[in-house]
Amino acid sequence: MAPQLTKWHFNIDSYLNPWIPRNPSHRLPYLLGRFLGHRHPDRPQHAVGNLVYIFWAFLGVFTSILLILAVNHHVGEFRAHNAPMIVASFGAAAVLEFYSIEAPLAQPRNAILGQVISALVGTIVATIFGGPERLLQSTSDDPTLGFRSLVYRWAGGALACAAATACMALTGTVHPPAGATALMAVVDDRIVELGWWYIPIMLLGCALMLGVALLVNNVQRRFPVYWWSPEETGSAWRKDVKEPEGESHVEMDSAKIEIDPTQDVESSSTDAECEQFILIARGLVEVPNHVHLLPEERNLLEAISLRI
C-alpha cells in the first residue's frame, strides 16, 4: 500500500537529541545552576501571582532593549554599515522571553536559533532577488525599474517569511518574532543594505537578551524550562561510557534494558516490553521514543527521580 502523504511526520529531535549533551547545570554550584534554570527538588519553586510576572517582565524588557540599543551604538562596524538602532522584531521577542517564559517558543533554542535562521533565510532571499542594487531602485530614477524593484520586494518579502517559517518548523526552532526578522531582511531599506552583517547583528542581540533573561527571570521564577528539548538528550554518549567496576548500571537506553545472560528471555520480546515502561532512577528519567512529554510532565518526573 502506498504511504499516505498526509501522515508523513518529520521530527528532527529524534535524530539530534541522542547527540546533544545533557544539561550539566545540576552539577554546577547552586547559585550558578539556579540562574541557568536548574531547581533542586528540596528547594521547590513557589507559585507567584501575575503582578510579580508583570513587574519582572517590565524590568526585563526595559533592561534588555536598552542594553541592545547601547551595545549596537558602540559597535563601530554596525555604525559603519548604517545599521538600525535595533531590529524591531526584538520588541516582540522581549515579550515572549520576559513574560511568557514557560512557553516552548520562548526557550533559548527557539529564541536564538529561530532568529538566526530567519535572518539567514531573509538575507539569502534578498541576495537571490538582487540585493540592494535591485531591491532599492527608486521609481523617481526609472519608473519601470522602480516598479520592478517593488514587485521583487513584495515577492521576496513574502518568500522570506514563508521560507523562514518552514525552516524553523523543520528544525524545531519556531519563534514567532523571527518571521518579522526574515521579512525585514527584504523589505526594510536599511536592513537590505546591511547584507550579511544582518546575521551577526541578530546573533549579538539574541545573546544580550538571553543574558538579561537568565538574570531577571530566575529571581522569583524559572527560566529556561529547558535549553534544547523537553525530551531526553545525550543517550548516544551514555552508551559508550564504561562505568567503573563495582558500580551498578543505572542509565539505559529508552528502548533497551540490561538482561542477565542466564535469563531465558527473548531479547526482542524484552525490547517490546520496555517500550511500555517509563524508567525512573535517581537522577534519571528514561522515556520510550514514542512517548512525548510536556515540559511540566518531565520536570515532575525529574523531581521525583531526585527524591529516590
End-to-end distance of the chain based on CA atoms, in angstroms?
48
**Which pLDDT score, from 0 to 100, does residue 260 have?**
45
pLDDT reported for residue 141: 61
- In contact, 109 and 229? CB cutoff 8 Å: yes
Positions of the chain with pLDDT under 70 = 1-3, 44, 138-143, 145, 239-275, 282-283, 290, 294-296, 299, 303, 306-307
* DSSP state for residue 282 in the 8-state scheme: T
Q: Which residues pair with 279 in a beta bridge?
A: 286
pLDDT score at 285? 80
Residue at grid coordinates 517590565: 58
Structure confidence by residue, pLDDT tens digits, 159-190 = 999 999 999 999 999 999 999 999 999 999 99
Return the residue matching grid coordinates 539574541.
Answer: 206
CA distance 88 to 198: 13
Cell of 251: 542509565
Q: Would you state the pLDDT for residue 271?
A: 52
pLDDT (0 to 100) of residue 137: 72
Query: Backbone phi, then psi, for 241, in 5-degree steps?
Result: -85, 125
Which residue type sits at 223?
F
Alpha carbons within 13 angstroms on the beta-carbon side of residue 295 total: 16
Cα–Cα distance measured from residue 137 to residue 224, given in angstroms and rounded to the nearest whole number:
44
**Predicted pLDDT of residue 235:** 86
- Spatial separation of the C-alpha atoms in residues 185 and 129, rounded to whole Å: 11
Where are the domains positioned within the chain? 50-216, 230-308
| 156 in Cβ contact with 126 (< 8 Å) | yes
- pLDDT at 41 (0 to 100): 73
**pLDDT score for 122:** 98
Please give the Cα distance from 64 to 70 (Å, whole number): 10
**Backbone phi, psi, residue 276, to 5°:** -100, 5
Bridge partner list, 102: none
* pLDDT for 89: 97
d(CA 42, CA 230): 21
Q: Give pLDDT, residue 258.
A: 40
Q: Which residue has the cell 536598552?
A: 66
Neighbouring CB atoms inside 10 A of 288's CB total 14
List the one residue out of 183, 138, 185 whose CA is nearest residue 165.
Answer: 183
